[in-house]
Amino acid sequence: MLVEDSRTFTAAVKTGLETLLGVSVEHCSSLAGLKALAETDPARFCLAVIDLNLPDAPNCQALDYVIAKDIPAIVFTGAFNDRTRLEVLSRDVLAYVPKHRPNAIDALIACVDQILDNAATRIMLVESDPALRIMISALLSRHQFAVSAVATADEALALLDCSGDIDVAVVNAGMDMSGFDLLRDIRMRHGAEKVRVIGMSETTDRMTGADFLVAGGDEFIHLPFLKEEFITRVTHVALIQRRIHALHRIAALDYLTDIFNRRHFFETGPRMVEQSMRRNAQSCIAIFDIDHFKRLNDTYGHEVGDLVLKAVAKRMKALVGDDHLLARLGGEEFGVLFNGLDIQEGFDFCERLRVDMANAKVIADDEELSITISIGLAVVSGDEAFDNYLNAADQFLYMAKHAGRNRTFSEISMLQSIAS
């Protein structure tokens, strides 16, 4: 929602938001128009960009109306001084952009872009004080962050183990378990770049912040804080994390099939196994490859072979989804780490994959090709090296091929063979 009475600013802002950010913008130029726009369904607006002074609302009445409708607001105004700034901030707006500043339109568009991006960032707040936890959670939520709040370090570690989408942790360094200890455990369990960690403390010792950063923290905030400073620091860390995630995702993808590559599988797989064992959950690992792929390449050429690899990966990705880890390990060989499935559930899943692939047709050079896959499946149990699980699955894959291909082989298959 854009609430602005200047035609010049309206045209520039509306065009910029729609063309650069791809968002839909509805405009009004008065308080009366605002009420007509918002009265029916205010929930359809995720954000309002609003001028403070309108012809029929010279004293922030339009801003008060938007806030009363629970629409997050950015103030974009020409009348701005210290008194106005304090008045605006007292109304709990997300940001303010003075029109007279250089590149004001660009600054406004960047501000909107940042706030919309916040919705894709999940923050874990670790704070034992209920009142402070509620206040900070509300502040972060107001700025569109997805927030999960916990009271203890144990709850924080459990949440991180069961959830793979925490981007930033905001941790009080003076909890029952030291924030330094929690930072250490986060880094040990999840690596140096999976989660950004922001510390905060009421201590007057300035070395606490420095020590937290030296220990591997990404930012430190002294309590009590200014809301502007707190949100700015959190937003900055979240932006860095999104950029790191984007770079990691590029590095983690296989160039041909657009699924995860071998490197990512070997980096992420062991961590997933550790987390699964800490939850006392079961998991298993499968290796599958495309039957007679060399013959297909020799017959149709490598271009057709690449088309087949892409088609198989796309179909497998759709079937496996995001709950499990799928990667191309090399050539025509793929790996799947089934998160939370025991060996029987993993075997049933593999059979569905195999049957689905056998029933599908791959179109290459206007010709339908029938593709089958062989699968080896091994259980993940005990404290072993990740390579050991893969080697076991690879041995079962060899047995599947030796038994005639287009089948799943595991310890279940061996028991069934013995029983028969």
- Residue 416's Cα: distance from chain center in Å? 42
Distance CA 163, CA 102 (A): 42
pLDDT for residue 79: 66
pLDDT in tens, 22-77: 999 999 999 999 999 888 788 889 899 999 888 898 888 899 999 999 899 999 98
pLDDT for residue 87: 73
DSSP states of 52-64: S-BTTBTTSHHHH
For residue 130, say if its preceding peptide bond is cis, omega within 30 degrees of 0. no
Dig out the tokens for 198 from the structure. 């922001």
Contact 261, 327 (CB under 8 A): yes
In the three-class reduction of DSSP (H, G, I as helix; E, B as strand; rest coil), residue 86 is classed as: helix
Distance CA 95, CA 235 (A): 12
* pLDDT value at 364 more than 70: yes
* pLDDT value at 339 more than 70: yes
CA distances from residue 83 to 56, 78, 79, 233, 372 in whole angstroms, order as listed? 22, 14, 10, 24, 72
Q: pLDDT class for 384, splitting at 50, 70, 90?
A: confident
DSSP states of 5-27: --HHHHHHHHHHIIIII-----E
Q: Looking at per-residue confidence, does 276 or 197 come out higher?
A: 197
Distance CA 85, CA 98 (A): 10
* pLDDT value at 80 more than 80: no
* pLDDT value at 149 more than 60: yes
* pLDDT value at 418 more than 70: no
pLDDT for residue 266: 94
Dig out the tokens for 24 from the structure. 């839909």
Distance CA 207, CA 309 (A): 55
Q: What is the dihedral of CA 76, 78, 83, 89, to 10 degrees?
A: 0
pLDDT for residue 363: 80
Q: What are the strands, taking DSSP E only, across 47-167? A: 48-50, 73-77, 95-98, 122-126, 146-150
* Ranges 35-39, 151-155, 380-384, 416-420: which has the least confidence: 416-420
pLDDT in tens, 168-211: 999 998 655 578 889 999 998 887 788 999 999 988 888 888 99
* pLDDT value at 290 more than 60: yes
Mean pLDDT throughout 413-417? 68
pLDDT for residue 419: 58
Distance from first CA to last CA of the chain, Å, rounded?
70
Contact 59, 80 (CB under 8 A): no
* Ranges 58-62, 86-90, 98-102, 343-347: which has the least confidence: 86-90
- Give one word for 30, left, alpha or beta, with left for phi > 0 and alpha for psi -120 to 50: beta
Distance CA 417, CA 193 (A): 46
Contact 290, 308 (CB under 8 A): yes
pLDDT for residue 206: 81
- Residue 110's Cα: distance from chain center in Å? 21
pLDDT in tens, 134-146: 999 999 998 999 9
pLDDT in tens, 219-236: 999 999 988 899 999 999
Strand order in the sheet with 283-290: 325-330, 333-339, 283-290, 373-380, 408-409
What is the reported pTM? 0.73
